Structure 1
């Protein structure tokens, strides 16, 4: 997926943008290659089967939820078809200004904690999917923490020379032992970590990458408490969102599991991932 291929895709399917400059966004994402198109657009191309349905999912759901949320979200303006050997549907979306949020780049961490809690509260409070769009919604399937048990325990064994294996196991056991979500399903983002929030001048400006959007237990979105916030701001966030003990324990498990997965998969080849996931795991152990 180089600029030549993307340029041919754009020119063939959306000739109105054929003359706009095209520049790859580095590092991009783990699920999509991203190319900036002119000043106001970007092209997003799935990297594999696991993210191949996001162009359609985004175009279906984001217009229905955007106006209900207090931060900007991506806006799809076109969906492209497979061509020139590229096998998946891809999208053109509006360019959102900002940089990936960092725990050490926030203008006011505690105010940010309240703002993040407000975003999640608004997301959880949206109407059921059937009220927004009639029909079956297989693309909103809930994620199950317990389904990650084998891979998480394997990762714990693999990182025992870096982190405290007994402490990791204790956090994970507590997450799996916590009572399950006992309420009606609510909306969750599904991949709510610092890299999927944008900031301008240290203040939140947008939330991106809704490929994991779904309905069910919202504990998975508590990962943000460990990837973006420090200990004090994390307490502010929990109080502002009103998280009970069981959901907090499951959310801590999500933070540990996703951090371990990224650490064991990418840290040895990506210094940024190594730094971010090391912090994420350490925060989950506090």
Structure 2
């Protein structure tokens, strides 16, 4: 998926586990067939998940990031009605793998697809309950850290311009440019930062029987625009359940429209970046954009012709 991607095999994982956690030496190691873009994932026995960063980096910085992810997982644990991973251990480089890695508890359930629970009203209510639980966590004075999604939509203009150029052979870019011109000018107003999961895409949401069973990849937990976790409305839900989610959360027009903006920003990057290397992620972006376009003109969508200002910088890490 990435030009600099690291290779991680089950044999490597077995060697690392045997060397660094000998108590787990006899547990089977199985590759998890997933479409994630950040980590290679392996099951260790029935109850554990080993996660290996796929992109090279400074080992010290990667370890600090993994410690921060573990802290976020502990902060979220038990704060919603749904299961989230519990951090178990941190491993180090070895057996040809150059970075630290993490171990978490394994959660049952299948990762959602863009439409596996899309028509389920109970799932929409579950998703709303998860978002409410996350929002109820005290920010303790923390505010958005200024990286990635969650601050001001217009700060992503440069990144979106790059996405438009790279998507001209894939998407109806003139129409999408017009939609972004309206979305990026939406005012944040005085809405304070709240705690958010930050990445409610299908692969991070576990489902069974049309209901939410758990949420993974929780390391991005942090303060941000309250509209950020609304991205799941378009990544995960068809129109009817999407309206239920909005009603359950009591979203006003401004917040709902900003949620559309954050979903648009994320989806545009998925389509072109993963077009060849991860068709599932690219397809997610296409599906989300289609839902956003279909929703134009509905209550809460921005009106055409709003003023939009100067561009500012973005960064490639917003992909995925």
Q: 2:144·2:193 contact (CA, 8 Å) conserved in 1? A: no
CA distance in 2, matches of 1:140, 1:266: 22
Does 1:2 find its partner at 2:9?
A: yes
Partner of residue 18, structure 1: 25
Could you tell me how far 1:205 is from its partner in structure 2?
0.4
Does 1:278 find its partner at 2:289?
A: no
Partner of residue 111, structure 1: 122
Partner of residue 67, structure 2: 56
Structure 1 unaligned spans of 5+? none
CA distance in 1, matches of 2:141, 2:221: 15
1:146 paired residue among 149, 154, 162: 154
Structure 2 unaligned spans of 5+? 1-7, 295-320
* TM-score normalised by L of structure 1: 0.89
Partner of residue 168, structure 1: 176
Does 1:177 find its partner at 2:185?
A: yes
Matches within 5 A, 1:16-95: 16-48=23-55, 52=62, 53-95=64-106
Give per-residue Cα distances to partners, 1:13-50, cap 9 Å, x unaligned: 11000111111112352100001111111111111258
CA root-mean-square deviation: 2.6
Could you tell me how far 1:159 is from its partner in structure 2?
2.5
CA distance in 1, matches of 2:71, 2:147: 11
Give per-residue Cα distances to partners, 1:124-151, cap 9 Å, x unaligned: 11112469xxxx9969997333332112
Q: Aligned pairs, how many?
A: 282
Give per-residue Cα distances to partners, 1:224-273, cap 9 Å, x unaligned: 11111011111111111112222222211111121110111002233322
Q: 2:119·2:241 contact (CA, 8 Å) conserved in 1? A: no
CA distance in 2, matches of 1:28, 1:162: 21
> CA 1:130 to 1:150, structure 2 compared with 1: closer, same or farther past 3 Å?
closer
CA distance in 2, matches of 1:262, 1:108: 23
CA distance in 2, matches of 1:200, 1:93: 21
2:233 paired residue among 221, 225, 235: 225
> CA 1:140 to 1:12, structure 2 compared with 1: closer, same or farther past 3 Å?
farther
CA distance in 1, matches of 2:246, 2:26: 48
